Structure 1
Amino acid sequence: MTAETPRTGGALAGLARFCYRRRRLVLLAWIAGVIAVAFAGFGYGAASDNDFSGGDSGSARAQELIDKHFPEQRGDTLTLAIKADRGIDDPAARQKIERVIAELAASPVTGPVISPYQDEDLVTQDRRIARTTIPLTDKEVKKSEVEPLVTTVRDASGDGVTLGLGGDRAEKAETPGQGPAESVGVLAAAVILFVAFGSLVAMGLPIVTALLAILGGIALMKLVGHVVPAPDFTVVLAAMIGLGVGIDYALFIVTRYKDALRDGDEPESATVRAITTAGHAVLFAGTTVVIALLGLVVMGQRLMTGVAVAASVTVLVTMIAAVTLLPAFLGFTGHRIDALRLPRRASRHQGAGGAPSRERRTPAERWAGVVQRRPLVAALVAVAVLLVLAAPALSMRLSLPDASVQPRDRSSYISYEILSEGFGPGYGAPLIFATRVGSRDADLRPVVEAVGRTEGIAHVTPPRISEDGRAATFMAFPTTGYQEEATADLVHRLRDDVLPRAPGGEGVHVGGPNAGTIDFAEEVGSRLPLMIAVVIALSLVLLIALVRSVTIALQAAVLNLLSIGAAYGVIVAVVQWGWLGPALGFPTEMPITAWVPMMMFPVLFGLSMDYEVFLISRVREEYGRTGDTRTAVTRGLARTAKVITAAAAIMIAVFTTSLLGPDVSVKQGGLGMAVAVLIDASIIRMVLVPAVMELCGKANWWMPGRREPKATSAPPAGVEAEAGV
C-alpha cells in the first residue's frame, strides 16, 4: 500500500461509500432531521439559566437563607434613577417623574412602587437626584415584558430631567441581539474559501455543511438544556465555535478530495480517500475539542458544565456532518467541484497532483529551511515574543460585567451614573448579610454597628427579621464600585476579620450579587489549574495514540500553553488595561469576565491540537518515507501551510466578528480566541514547530518500547489514515 492508495476497507471507508452512493437518502435524512430537531429545540427547548450562584460559598449560603425565609425578596427588582437639573420638586419635573412612576407601576409585571416623594431616604439632600425600586412580580419575567419599561423611561428623559432604568433584567432587555456578527463571519469565510479554492462550488460545500450542522447542533443543545441548563451566552459561543470548526473540518476534507481528483481518482474513490485520511483526522481533532470542552466539568460550576455539554453537542454534530453529509454533497458535485472557478494561472511550483515541485521550492519550504538553519535562535526569539505577550496575564482580575461597563447610551449605564453621583459608586454593589436567629427579638445591633464602622462601608440599613422569626438580613453599601478591587478586599475583610470578632457575627454570611461575583471569580481562579491539567493529560493521551510519539505530544502541549498564555495577556492588555479597548468595542477598562479564560482554554487547546494533527500527520507520513526529520518537516509544512493558513484565517474571521456584537463578555472571548489562533498559525506552526523538531532530531519519534522505523517508499501502515490534509 502506498501513501496515495486509499484504504478500501474499514468503517470510515464503508461509511464514505454509503454516503456517496446513497447521497439523496443521506441528504434527505439530514434535512428532515435538522427540521425536526429545530422545531423541537427552538419551540420547546429549555430557557437560559444565568444563576451562577450555588456551591458552598458565603454568598450561596446567604442566598439560601434569603430564599427560604424571605420569599418576598425572591423576585428581581429594577431601579429607577432620576436626576433633575432644577430639582425634583420643580413642577414640570415632578409632573414628568410622577407620570413615569405611574406607568411603571401600572405594568402587569411590576409590584407596588414607592415614590421618592413619599420617602425622603430616596432623595439626596440637594433634592436633585432620587431613586426608587421597581419590584418584579415574577422571577421569570421575559425580556419582551421588560423592554416597554425601558422604552418608557428612555422616552421620558429630556427637558432637564434624566431618567435611567437599572437592574439585571433591564440590562438584558435593552441589549440588542448579536446582529450581523455571524453573517459577517460566514461572508468572510466564504471569501477566504473562494480565494483558497478558486471555485464557487468548492467554496459553498464547507459553508453549507457547517451551517446545516450548526442549526441542528444549536437546536439539539436547547433540548439538552432541560437536563443540563446553560447561560444565555452559550448559543452565541456555540455558534461561533461550531461555525469555525465546521467550516475548517469540511475545508480539510474538500482539499483532500480535490487532490485525489487531480491524482486521477474517480469521484467515489476520491471521496473514500478524503474521508479515510482527512476525515479520520477530523474525527480525532473533533474528539479532542469535545474532550477539552468537557474538561470544564471539573470546574464544579453547574452552569459551566452546561456550557461544556452544549458546546460539545454542537462540535459533535459538525463532526458527524463532515463525514456523512459532506460525502453526500461530494457525490452530487463529482468532477464539477471546480465549477464556476476563478480564472488564474496554474502554479509553477506544483508538480503532479498538486504536490510541491522539488525543482522550485515553495515559500513554505524556503521558510522552513531558514528556521532549520538557526533553530535555537528562532526558538528563543519566538518564545521571548510569546512570553512578552503573556506577561500582562499575571495581573489578570476576574469579575462579571455590570451596568458600569455597558455602552454609555444604555439606560442601565445612565442609571448607574446617576446613582453613583447621588448615592455613591457602591450603591450598585450592595452587600446583603443574612443569618439565622432564634426569635423575632434577636438583637443584631452589635453586628450591624461593627459592619458600619468598617472602613470602606458608606451606609448600613437596619436589620429585618423574617416572618417566621428564624432569619435576619440587612444591607451595607460600599464606598467603592462593583468592578473595583477594593470592593473584593472589603468582602474578605468583613468575612475574615470584622464578622468573626463582632458579637453574634460568626453565623452571618455576606451575599448579594456583588459578593456572589467575587466568590464565583475566586472559585474559577482556584479551579482553573486543575482544569488545565485534566485537559492537557487527556489530550496528550489522544495525541500520543495518533502520532505514536511522546516527544511530539509533549511539544504540542507546551507550545499550545504558550500560545494560549499569550492570548490571555493580549485580552488583559486590551480589556483590563484599556489598550485599544474603545477602538475594539470595549466602553471602558474592566476586569476579565470570569468564565472567559476558563472557556477559552479548552476551546483553544482543542483547536490548537487540530492544527497539530493536520501538520504532524503529514510530517509523520513524510518521515515514514524518508527517515529524515528535516526533510519530513520541510515537506510536511509545505503540503499543509496553505490549507492551515486558510483554516486559521476562517477561524480568525469568525472569532473577530464577535467584536461587532453587543455582549462585552463574548467580545472578550472572541478577541482572545482570534489572537490565539493567529499566534498558533504563525509563530507556533511556522517557527516553533520546525525549530523545536529540528533541535530534537531523532528524539522527535521517541516512544517507549518502539524500535526506530526504517525509511521506506511508503509510510507505515495506518499513517495514510492519520494524514490530516
Structure 2
Amino acid sequence: MATVLYHLGRVSFRWRWFVTLLWVAVLGAAGFAASKAPAAADEGFTMPGIESQKAFDLLEQRFPGSAADAASARIVFVAPSGEKVTASGNRRAVEHLVDEAADGSQVAGAVDPFQAKAVSKDGTTAYATVSFKTGAAELTEGSKEHLERAIDGARDAGLTVEVGGDALATRPSAGGTAEVTGIAVAALVLLITFGSMAAAGLPLLTAVLGVGLGMAGIMTVSEAFGLSESTGTLATMLGLACGIDYALFVVSRYREERAKGHTPREAAGLAAGTAGSAVVFAGLTVVIALAGLSVVGVPLLTKMGLAAAATVLVAVLVCLTLVPAVLGFWPNAVLSRGARRNSPRHRRKQRNEDSGGSRWARIVVRHPLPVLLLGVVGLGAVATPVTDLRLGMPGDEAKPTSTTERRAYDALAEGFGPGFNGPLTIVVDAQGSADPKAAVATIAKDVQATDGVVSVSPARFDSAGDTAVFSAVPSTAPTDEKTKDLVTTIRDERPGIESKAGASFEVTGKTALDIDVAEKVQASLMPYLAVVVGLAIVLLLVVFRSLLVPVKAAFGFLLSVLAALGSVVLVFQHGHGADLLGVQSTGPIMSMMPIFLVGIVFGLAMDYEVFLVSRVRESYVHGHAAKTAIVSGFKHSARVVVAAALIMMAVFSGFVGAGESMIKMIGFGLAIAVLFDAFVVRMAIVPAVLSLLGDRAWYLPRWLDRLLPDIDVEGEKLSREVPAPTGPTADPDDRPLAEPVPIR
C-alpha cells in the first residue's frame, strides 16, 4: 500500500493542475445537484421492533386520515396573580383566541378549554389544542403568523400565554458559529504547530472543500434517503475534524521528508506513502465505527452513521490527492522560515533537536508502571458515574427557559401535575370482540385502577368501532423512574386484563416510546461493540502485525469512552458544571448517546492509535530497540497528535453552544472523549504498556504472519526503493530545497 500511495502522491504533485481542477469540478457539480434537489420530508423518529412503534403503526392503519403526524399547538393560559382563567375577562380573551385560531387556512380544528374541561382544579391554568391539516414542516409562514397574532391578542389582555407542540416550535441550529469557532481555533493550533501560514491554511482549505463536497452530496440524496438536518450536522462535525487532522499528518510528514533533503515531489510521494497509509487505515476505522451503527436497528442512527462515514471517506480521498497537488503549487511555502533558508546549521539542529514528545516518552519509559496505574485509576474514577446512568429522550423539559415550549411545559406541570406532559396512549384492538365498547371500558377501568395513574380520558373509536385509543396520565413526570415502573407494571398486568376484557391493547405515546428506545439501545450496545471492536482489531492486526497492540488499543478505547460517558452523566444528569455549558435542565441522558459515543469515539481513538503507534513501529522495523523506538516514534508524532487532538476538541466544543440538547451533549461528549483518549490513553498509557511489553509488543506467530497481507504501512519497502537525494535535477518539480520554486 505504501508504494501505491507513494506513486499516487507523486502523480498528484506532478499533475497538480489537473487534480485540483478535477476536485473543483466535482465540488461544483455536487453543489449544482444539491441546489436542484428537493428538501427531504420530515419522516419523524421511528424504531422498528418495539411495542410503542407497533402501536403507532396500528393507529395509522386503523385511523386513516387522522393525521397522526400533523402539526399541533398546545396553547397554555395562565391567569395573572390572584386571578383565574375562568373570570369573565380572561375567559373572553381565551375564547377569542380559540375562535381566531380556528379560522386559519391550514387549521383542522381548535378545542375550547372550557368545553373540553381543560382547566386546572385551582382555575389558574387552562390549555387549548390547535390541530393542523399538515405536518410542521409544511406549515406556511402565513399560518404561523396568523396563530401568533391570535396569541399576542390574548397576551395583550393580561394573560400569560405559552405554546407547546411542534407547530411553532423553535428550530435550533447547531449553534451557527460552531463551525467558525472550530475553524478559528484549528487555524491557531496549526499556526503554532507549523509556524507557517501556508502550512496552517492548507489543512483548513482541503478540509473545508471535503466537507463542502460531503454536505452537497448529502443534500442531493436527502429526499431519496430521508436524511435529516441532524445527519448533516454530524457529517460536518466529523468531516471537518477528520479532514483537518488527516491533512495535518500528511503536511507534517512532507516537512519532515523535506528536512531530510528530499526534493519536493519525492517528499510529497513519501508523505502520501507513509502518513497517507496511516490516514487510510485511520479513516477505515472511523468508517467501520460509523457504518456499524446500522447494527442497532435505528433508522435515524443508520442514516447519520452512513452519511458521516461517506464524508470521512471524502476527507481521506482529498488528503491523498488534493493535499499533494496543492503542495505542488507552493512546495516551499509550507516549510518553516528556517527550513526555507536551508542553512547547514538549521539541518543539524533539526536532526539533533530533542522534542517535547521524545522528552515525555523518556519519562514514561523510565517509569512505565506508575504512569500506567495513574492513568487507569484516574480514568476509572472519572468513569464511576456511569453506574448511575439513566437513559431517556430529551423533550421540552430539556429546552432553555427562554423558549416558550419550556415555559408551557412548566406551566402545565404546575397546573395539572407533573405527569400531564407525558400521558400514556393506550391503543385497544377489539377486533373479534363480541362487545368492543364493553371491552374498552374494562381495559380503561383496570388501567385507571393501577397505582400511579391519575386519570384516563374518554376512549375514541375508529370508524369501524373495533379499535379505540385513550390516554392515561401518570402521577409522575415523564423522565421519572416511577413512570418507567408504571409502564412496566401495566404491561406486566396486561395478560390478566386482556383475558377479562376479551381484547388486546398496547401502551405507546412519547413517554412509553422513550422507555422502549432506551431498552432497545441498551440491548444493542454489546452486539454493536462486538462487531465494531472485532472488525477494528482485525484491521489493526493487519496494520501493526502484532497480537497485543490491537488488544491494548481496544482496552484503551474502553477506558476513554467510559470516562467520557461518566463525564456526560456528571454534567447532564447530575448537573455538576451544567451552568457553565448552558444546560438549562438536567435529567436522563439521551437514549442513543452511549451507542453514538461508542461508535464515533472508537473511530477517533483508533485514529490516534494508528498515527502514533505506526511511527513507533516504523522505528522498530527500521532497527531501533523497542524502548528506543517508542522515544523515536513520539519525537516525530507526539506534537502532531497533540495538535490533531486540540483541533478535534475545538471543532467538537464549538457544538456545545448549540441550542439543541442532542447536539450539545454530543459535542461535549466527543470533546471530553478526545481529551481523555489523546492525552491520557494514547500519550501516557500506550507508551507505558509498550515499554512494559518490550519486544513482546510486536510478537506475531509465524503461521499468522504468513496469512496476513503485507501492506507495509511503515514504508519499509519505500526506504529501499526511494533513492537518496542527489541534488538538483532536470525535472522542474524536483528542484533541491535550496532553489526557490516560483509560484505559478
TM-score computed with the length of structure 1 as normaliser: 0.91
**Aligned-pair CA distance for 1:436:** 1.6
Residues of 2 paired with 1:609 and 1:102: CA distance? 60
Q: 3-state SS of the aligned residue for 2:501?
A: coil
**Kept after mapping to 1: 8 A contact 2:296/2:525:** yes
Partner of 1:138: 134
CA distance in 1, matches of 2:146, 2:574: 35
The offset of 1:65, in angstroms, is 1.4
Deviations 1:277-332 (A, max 9, x none): 11111111111100111111110112211111111111111111111221221111
User: 1: CA distance between counterparts of 2:237 and 2:284?
Assistant: 18
Report matched runs for 1:152-231 at 5 Å.
Answer: 152=149, 155=152, 157=155, 160-171=158-169, 173-176=170-173, 178-231=175-228
Rounded to whole Å, the distance in 2 between the matches of 1:92 and 1:348 is 90
Shift of 1:191: 0.9
User: Which SS does the other structure have where 2:359 is aligned?
Assistant: helix
> Could you say which residue in structure 2 is the equivalent of 1:411?
404
Q: 1:29 aligns to what?
A: 22
Correspondent of 1:507 among 495, 504, 507 = 504
Structure 1 residue runs of 5 or longer lacking an equivalent are 1-5
Q: What whole-Å deviation, never above 9, does each CA across 1:601-624 have from its counterpart, x for those lacking one?
A: 111111111111111111111112
Match of 1:672 in 2: 669
CA drift of 1:679 comes to: 1.0
Moved more, 597-606 or 141-150: 141-150
Structure 2 unpaired stretches of 5+:
707-712, 721-744
CA distance in structure 2 between the aligned counterparts of 1:237 and 1:596, rounded to whole angstroms? 13
- Which one is further off, 225-234 or 369-378? 225-234
Q: Does 1:272 align with 2:269?
A: yes
Task: Give the counterpart of 1:11 among 4, 22, 43.
Answer: 4
Aligned to 2:252: 255
- Residue 92 of structure 1, CA deviation: 4.7
Name the amino acid aligned to 1:392.
P
Superimposed CA distance per residue, residues 131-179 of structure 1 (whole angstroms, 9 cap, x where no aligned partner): 11111211363476475367547745466411111114433x4435631
1:286-365 aligned at under 5 Å gives the runs 286-338=283-335, 352=348, 354-355=350-351, 357=353, 361-365=354-358
- The Cα of 1:686 is off from its aligned counterpart by 2.1
Per the alignment, residue 84 of structure 1 pairs with 79
Instruction: State the alpha-carbon separation in 2 of the partners of residues 566 and 533 from structure 1.
Output: 19
- Write out per-residue CA displacement over residues 212-265 of structure 1, whole angstroms, 9 at most, x where no aligned residue: 110110121233444543443121111111110010001111111122222222
1:656 matched residue in structure 2 = 653
**Match of residue 420 from structure 1:** 413
> Structure 2 CA distance, aligned partners of 1:423 and 1:434?
23
Which amino acid in structure 1 is aligned with residue 131 of structure 2? Answer: P
Which residue type is aligned with residue 71 of structure 2? D
Which of 69, 84, 93 is 2:90 aligned to? 93
User: Are the equivalent residues in 2 in contact too, given 1:624–1:716 (CA < 8 A)?
Assistant: no
Equivalent runs, 1:379-390 vs 2, <5 Å? 379-390=372-383
What secondary structure, in the 3-state scheme, does the structure 1 residue paired with 2:425 have? Answer: strand
Task: Check conservation: 1:401, 1:593, Cα contact below 8 A.
Answer: yes
Distance 1:11 1:634, change over 3 A: closer
* Deviates most, 258-267 or 90-99: 90-99
Q: Which residue of 2 aligns with 1:580?
A: 577
| 1:178 partner letter | G
Specify the code of the residue in structure 2 equivalent to 1:522.
E
1:521 is displaced (CA, Å) by 1.2
1:3 corresponds to which residue?
A: none
SS in 1 for 2:214: helix
Deviating more after overlay: 577-586 vs 224-233: 224-233
* Residues paired across the two proteins, number: 704
Moved more, 293-302 or 176-185: 176-185
1:273/1:672 CA distance change after superposition, 3 Å: same
Q: Does 1:442 align with 2:473?
A: no
The 3-state SS of whatever aligns with 2:427 is: strand
Calculate the TM-score normalised by the size of structure 2.
0.89
Match of 1:534 in 2: 531
The amino acid that maps onto 2:15 is: R
The alpha-carbon distance between structure 1 residues 205 and 715, as it changes in their structure 2 partners (threshold 3 A), is closer
Secondary structure, aligned partner of 2:129? strand
- Identity in percent: 35
Residue in structure 2 matching 1:702, options 699, 704, 713? 699
Q: Do the aligned partners of residues 90 and 175 (structure 1) sit closer, same or farther apart at CA in structure 2, a change above 3 Å counting?
A: farther
C-alpha distance in 2 between matches for 1:707 and 1:73: 60
CA drift of 1:415 comes to: 1.0
Q: Please, which moves more after superposition, 104-113 or 39-48?
A: 39-48
C-alpha displacement of 1:579: 0.5
Cα 1:73–1:422 change in 2 (3 A) is: farther
Structure 1 residue 501 displacement after superposition: 3.9
Partner SS for 2:334: helix
Separation in structure 1 between the aligned mates of residue 14 and residue 254 of structure 2, nearest angstrom: 16
SS in 1 for 2:664: helix
Q: Aligned-pair distance for 1:382?
A: 1.1
More moved, 36-45 vs 411-420? 36-45
Contact 2:108 2:131 in 1 (8 A): yes
Q: Is the 8 A contact 2:172 2:658 kept in 1?
A: no
Once the two structures are TM-superposed, the CA of residue 348 in structure 1 deviates from its matched residue by: 13
Aligned residue in 2 for 1:466: 462
> Equivalents in 1 of 2:342, 2:139: separation in Å?
56
C-alpha distance in 1, partners of 2:631/2:276? 24
What's the C-alpha RMSD, in Å, of the aligned pairs? 2.9
**Counterpart of 1:691?**
688
Determine if contact 1:253/1:274 at 8 Å carries over to the other structure: yes
Counterparts of 2:307 and 2:236, CA distance in 1: 10
Partner of residue 618, structure 1: 615
Deviation of the 1:338 alpha carbon: 3.9
Distance in structure 2 (CA, Å) of the matches to 1:544 and 1:260: 27
For residue 105 of structure 1, report the CA deviation from its aligned partner. Answer: 2.5
Contact 1:109-1:141 at 8 Å conserved across structures: no
1:455 aligned residue (451, 455, 465): 451
| Aligned match for 1:245, one of 242, 246, 256 | 242
- Is 2:544 the partner of 1:555? no
Match of 1:401 among 375, 394, 403: 394
| CA distance in structure 2 between the partners assigned to 1:613 and 1:213 by the alignment | 22
Is residue 553–residue 606 contact of structure 2 (8 Å, CA) maintained in 1? yes
Whether the 8 Å CA contact 1:524–1:594 is kept in 2: the answer is yes
Distance 1:22 1:343 in 2: 25
Which range moved further: 440-449 or 278-287? 440-449
C-alpha separation in 2, matches of 1:715 and 1:142:
55
**Cα pair distance change 1:715/1:290, threshold 3 Å:** closer
The residue type equivalent to 2:681 in the other structure is I
What per-residue deviation string (whole Å, max 9, x for no partner) do you get for residues 374-433 of structure 1? 222221121110111111112111111101111001010111111111111211111111
Are residues 179 and 623 of structure 1, via their aligned partners in 2, closer, same or farther at CA, if it must alter by over 3 Å? same
Counterpart AA for 1:424: G
CA contact (8 A) 1:375 1:692 kept: yes
Against the structure 1 CA distance between its residues 219 and 150, is the aligned structure 2 distance closer, same or farther, given a 3 Å change threshold? farther
Over residues 613-643 of structure 1, what are the superposed CA-to-partner deviations in whole Å (9 max), with x where a residue is unaligned? 1111111111123341111111111211110
> Contact 2:613–2:633 (CA<8 Å) still a contact in 1?
yes
Flag the 1:324–1:61 CA change in 2: closer, same or farther, 3 A. same
Alignment of 1:717 with 2:716, yes or no, is yes
- The separation in 1 between residues aligned to 2:525 and 2:511, in whole angstroms, is 21
Map of 1:556-571 to 2, 5 A cutoff? 556-571=553-568
Structure-to-structure mapping, 1:635-650, within 5 angstroms: 635-650=632-647
Alpha-carbon offset, residue 93 of structure 1? 3.4
Q: Which residue of 1 aligns with 2:367?
A: 374
Once residues 596 and 64 of structure 1 are traced to their aligned partners in structure 2, the CA distance between those partners, rounded to angstroms, is 26
